Chain A
Amino acid sequence: MSTRIPVTVIGGYLGAGKTTLINHMLRHAGGRRLAVLVNDFGALPIDADLIEAQEGSTISISGGCVCCSFGSDLVAALRGIVALDPPPGHLLIEASGVALPAAISATASLVRGLANEGIVVLADAETVRERAGDRYLGDTIERQLRDAGLILLSKPDLANADALAATRAWLEQFAPVIDSPRGQVPLEVALGPALGRSRPVIASPPAHPAYETVEYGDLPALDLERLCTVLTDPAAGVLRAKGIVRDPSGAMQAVQTVGRRAEIYSATAGGPGRLVCIGIAGRLDRSAIERAIAPRQFRCGSA
């Protein structure tokens, strides 16, 4: 695996729950050193009890995490994050309420040392439909949702059941939807799973009762396009997948999927092929995944 810092862009309109989500992640970072970039400190985005120190536009947070504001110069802020020593384990970028998250993601892709790990867009279960119908805001809300790899539904507990079901069905047209009351969502779902070094075992570590994780090792060389087609097919129930896999030519490639989006890029790491997938408990179609990683698809020598 390359040493690039993984980046997750967190989008969603004002009041959708971005700040709550970020604070929840910082509280449950579980040893991951998170760096958070926020558009501004207009409304201080970090819970006071998490703050260890503030210096200019940088806030130090317990557990080795940091939060910086970027104002109008996102590029300089991203370069600043790459230059941090030691480097953070993961970068979260909080998009402003009207920003299009894919545009921020595209900018992050320009900066050396960063690797995009998807876009998560928050939707307020109570208000997202109304906002999407607003004459001024509607198209912005839809563009944000269309950029999402995963949609986190905030405040699902406050909406009535019928309305919630309708909202969820409407949101599903854009991306897989996960409940996230009060920002609660496992880190490996929101930010992506940590990929084991080289464990050649199939394991299902208990992450969170609502989710299910499968991990595969010793993978043969695979048709990566086909693998991604399976992993991003809603029928397979995969929310996120990450893998290091040899392609038919023998080159190591990193594969990553978030909802219906997949990315393949050349990996610097070696070792046996491996893949980890996360889905909602009971909805992960293991047999579909296993067919996609079965060795019989190629005859390209020993993998």
Chain B
Amino acid sequence: MFTIHSARRILTMNSSRPETTHVAVREGRILGTGSLEELSGWGKHELDERFADKVLMPGLVEGHSHAMEGSFWRYVYVGYFDRMDPDGKVWTGASSIDAVIDRLRDAASKLAGDAAPLSAWSLDPIYFGNRRVVREDLDRASATRPVGVLHASGHILNVNTKALELAGLLRKGINHPGIPLGADGLPTGELKGPDPMMMASPYVGFDREVLACDELGLRYFGRLCVRKGVTTAADLANLLPQDAVAMMLRVTSESDFPARIVSLLRLQLLSGQALIDRALELRAMSSDRLRLGIVKLVADGSIQGFSARLRWPGYYNGAPNGLWYVPLETLREAFRLALARGVQIHTHTNGDEATELVLDCIEAALQAHPARDHRFTLQHCQLADAAQFRRMRALGLCVNLFPNHHYYWGDQHYAITVGPERAERMNACATALASGVPFAIHSDAPVTPLGPLFTAWCAVNRRTATGRLLGAHERIGVADALRTITLGAAYTLKLDGEVGSIECGKRADFAVLEDDPLEIGAERLKDVRIWGTVQGGRLFPATPSSQA
């Protein structure tokens, strides 16, 4: 006995049979696609017609997110843009500082006790003109309890006076580039960069363990995946201590956990040899819904934080070049050992100098260990130029680009960070396609919201939040974008033989859509309504959403 699902249209991403109307599922896998008559040949079945008016796509694959997006939803959302929480509630964007404060005040009134911290996230004062948020603003939300609000970029934390006091920072004479001072000589409450943020974060409820993704966060993340049509999501990356692995194995194996998580091991506290040993050990622990064994390295910082490494002529506003995050020798050793022992590495390179360095390192490692099909992947790789894409192709690399950045920060990139020309080539999807570099596109959730169809819309339209068309020549077509958020991302995770298309033998992972992404029009691609998902043959309807 097996099930045949009928649908209005099935977009398979299988080039031998790109479109069909029925898919047969047995034991969580796809028995076949075709007409009802064709599939009936497999024997006794039941016909499930609940998707008869819906469109099926392969379950969407998010190639670069962080499961901690789920953890953030226990804090108050104060972002500028509307955003859907794991329960389907759409939080309206806070469009002014007053709106942020109102929401915080409201949340504070619901907290028990006077001392409990109030934590919020996704603040983006860029959209409030040049006005910075200061501690006096947050004091209006609560003067008695510590208040901390994390910026959307994740690189700045705003705190109130009480939090500064608890952190030992409410004093004169502080001299730190990440802690601006007010006219009174005291910190304004803006804490920039990891160290200043860590001074206050334990007092405002941003617990390190929670942010590293705990059980509740992982469950929330799974629910968000359902709402966004995602059946496989990469978690980039995690320190993966043994207790976290045990928790993730347990939670993802529960019969109602709706997604496959690919969690990458982050380099820290480990030498190259120990890193590769641990990756192989983790790979052996993988289950169907928790895939382990890929390594993540970070070469540089972020472009909007001016910590990315840029080639000449550097930052448009003259800021000094960014930082290397690990010694070059560490990168070289890791690539060499990984190629020798068959471990895949994804490397964060934001600036084009970081990309160039990693290309050089991988080229040298490949000369020592000419591995085939290594699928080493450059993550973000936002500033790569055409020559670098040609090198990626020649070296057998994949790339995972970040089109959401155009929407959220494209205007800043144009005006401040890299200037007009390079802003237009950022996340050059069309060049990747033309160069033949296998590529994915991503959200980096929680930096931007999880949602591959939104990411596809960004790659297709390249509009900034203010409506500027940024890089018309790097737009890609809808069909290419849809392929990228399914098979493209699956390929970078070495899962394209298992997921990413609807065809015989693959996992029964579907995104179930109310609208047809090929019919709705390129400009409305982000508005495609999502019923939910099918993951490993199990049905996960997204529960009805509400409006905040």
Pair A72/B323 contact, Cβ less than 8 Å:
no
A14→B326 CA distance, assembly (Å): 10
Pair B327/A98 contact, Cβ less than 8 Å:
yes
How many contacts A-B (CB < 8 Å)? Answer: 73
Write out, one digit per residue, whether chain A residues 187-222 have a CB within 8 A of any chain B CB (1) or not (0). 000000000000000000000000000000000000
Which residue of chain B has its CB nearest to the CB of A76?
A: B198
Among A14, A110, A139, point to the contact of B327 (Cβ < 8 A).
A14
- Which chain A residues border B175 with CB–CB below 8 Å? 106, 109
A-B pairs with beta carbons under 8 Å apart, 30 shown: A14-B330, A40-B268, A42-B271, A71-B268, A71-B269, A72-B194, A74-B195, A74-B198, A75-B195, A75-B199, A76-B198, A76-B202, A97-B329, A98-B324, A98-B327, A106-B176, A106-B177, A106-B195, A109-B174, A109-B175, A109-B176, A110-B168, A110-B169, A110-B176, A110-B179, A110-B196, A136-B328, A136-B353, A137-B324, A139-B321
Pair A42/B198 contact, Cβ less than 8 Å:
no
Give 4 nearest A-B pairs by CB, closest first: A75-B198, A97-B327, A107-B195, A42-B271
8 A Cβ contacts from B166-181 to A: 168-169, 174-179
Q: Is A257 an interface residue (CB 8 A)?
A: no
B contact residues, range: 20 to 34
B176, B202, B328, B353 — which one has the most chain A CB atoms within 10 A of its CB? B328
A107-B195, A136-B353 as given contacts; A41 in contact with B321, CB under 8 Å: no
- Which chain A residues border B195 with CB–CB below 8 Å? 74-75, 103, 106-107, 110
Binding site for A on B (CB under 8 A): 168-169, 174-179, 194-196, 198-199, 202, 208, 268-271, 274, 309, 321, 323-330, 353, 357
- Which chain A residues border B328 with CB–CB below 8 Å? 136-137
A43-B271, A136-B357, A137-B328 as given contacts; A110 in contact with B199, CB under 8 Å: yes
Write out, one digit per residue, whether chain A residues 150-189 have a CB within 8 A of any chain B CB (1) or not (0). 0000000000000000000000000000000000000000
- Which chain A residues border B326 with CB–CB below 8 Å? 96, 98
Q: Is A23 an interface residue (CB 8 A)?
A: no
- Which chain A residues border B309 with CB–CB below 8 Å? 136
Q: Is A73 an interface residue (CB 8 A)?
A: yes
Which residue of chain B has its CB nearest to the CB of A99?
A: B323
Pair A112/B168 contact, Cβ less than 8 Å:
yes
- Which chain B residues border A71 with CB–CB below 8 Å? 268-269
A103→B268 CA distance, assembly (Å): 20
Q: Is A69 an interface residue (CB 8 A)?
A: yes
Which residue of chain B has its CB nearest to the CB of A107?
A: B195
- Which chain B residues border A137 with CB–CB below 8 Å? 324, 328
Write out, one digit per residue, whether chain A residues 93-115 have a CB within 8 A of any chain B CB (1) or not (0). 00011101001001101111000
Pair B274/A98 contact, Cβ less than 8 Å:
no
B428 to chain A, nearest CB (A): 22
